[in-house]
Amino acid sequence: MPQLLLATPAMAAEYSNWFVNRRAYTRQSDRPHPESGRHFYYRPGSKAGAEVALEVEDVRRHLAGEITLGIYAINPGNQRVKWMAIDADYRRSLDDLLKLQYELQQDGIQAALEQSRRGGHLWILFETPVLAKLARIYIRHLAGKLAVQVKSTGPSDGIELFPKQDRIEAGQFGNAIRGPLGVHRAVNRRYWFYGAAHDLEAQLAYLRELRRVSESRLAELVAELEIPDEVSTTPRRYPPSGFQILDFLEPGQLRRVGRNWVTRCPSCAATGRDRGKDNLAVSVEEPMKYLCWAGCTSSQIRAALGAPAPALAR
């Protein structure tokens, strides 16, 4: 690793504008944990136990390679994010990231690919902070279209999205990811973006030029999403029931957004969620197709509507 990296306060301030969503942060430990042997991330606290807020000087030291910061995705004040990152670290993960990068390009989105220890991080920057939920809907859909697995809980392969949550409550943090251009303490090396020469100035110039995605463009992309055909593990041994979800929804509560009707998901509503009344999407063209962006299954939605799916005939 080149030692003479002149990280200036101006660089740190600019980097903070791009990447820092809130002043809580994590740091990668300089030494491995005595038991696990791993370099872990922790939230620095003062001696009095109070939270320590990130300063521009911390960011400068991160860029200089003296410390390594983990940054949080969501600003809890408005549930918005300045960026979205896709983390992949399994075998062949680079293939998946390149597929995603290509597909994003088809939607006019430039995503920056950063190397990591075992795979990579793909970064999308927004012109102004966008709702975490909107960014997640778009990327999850894109991954689904490409058959790229999104990691679920427990040990499994798949990409991880940052933000990992649609929203966080006061006092919560969500998940942090290593700040771009940080040095991994375990191997004492820096992981660069593929798009530029391997020095700090060139890398920052590359990020500066990266096209930012506007909130209106993102909203447009989400409005144009197609609801996939229902994925069902049960064989279709009988003709479709003819269940029409629109028969069960209040017409006055439906809003047309792009190619879909949008309303509160009945299953989410049953547990007091989806106050924004926009989780359920029903295809205008093919109203048999509907989807809850928060992940409720079709049987949960039907049960909440009092129209459970009939059991399969034997």
State yes or no: residue 265 binds Zn ion (CB under 5 A). yes
Which span (50-58, 100-108, 213-221, 284-292) binds Zn ion, by CB under 5 A? 284-292
Among residues 74, 267, 289, 304, which is the contact residue for Zn ion, using CB under 5 A? 267
Alpha carbons 212 and 312: distance in angstroms, whole number? 49
User: Is residue 270 near Zn ion by the rule CB under 5 A?
Assistant: no
How many residues line the site for Zn ion (CB under 5 A)?
A: 7
Nearer to Zn ion, 204 or 304 (CB): 304
Q: Which amino acid is at 311?
A: A
Residue 241 CB neighbours (<10 A): 11
**Which secondary structure element, helix H or strand E, spans residue 124, and what is its range?**
strand 120-131
Q: What is the DSSP letter of 244?
A: -
292 binds Zn ion (CB under 5 A): yes
Q: What is the DSSP string of 56-93?
A: HHHHHHHHHTSS-EEEES-BTTTTEEEEEEEEE-STTH
**List 7, 81, 88, 296, residue binding Zn ion (CB under 5 A):** 296
Residue among 198 and 255 whose Cβ is closer to Zn ion: 255
> What track of x and - describes contact with Zn ion for positions 217 through 256 (by CB under 5 A)?
----------------------------------------
Q: Is 11 in the site for Zn ion (CB under 5 A)?
A: no
Which parts of 72-192 fold into alpha helices (H)? 93-106, 132-145
Q: Determine the angle formed by the axes of helices 93-106 and 132-145, rounding to 10 degrees.
A: 110
- Shortest Cβ 304–Zn ion spacing (Å): 8
CA 16 – CA 240 distance, rounded (Å) = 53
Q: Which stretch binds Zn ion (CB under 5 A): 10-18, 76-84, 237-245, 279-287?
A: 279-287
268 touching Zn ion, by CB under 5 A: yes
Q: What does the binding site for Zn ion look like in residue numbers (CB under 5 A)?
A: 265, 267-268, 279, 292, 294, 296
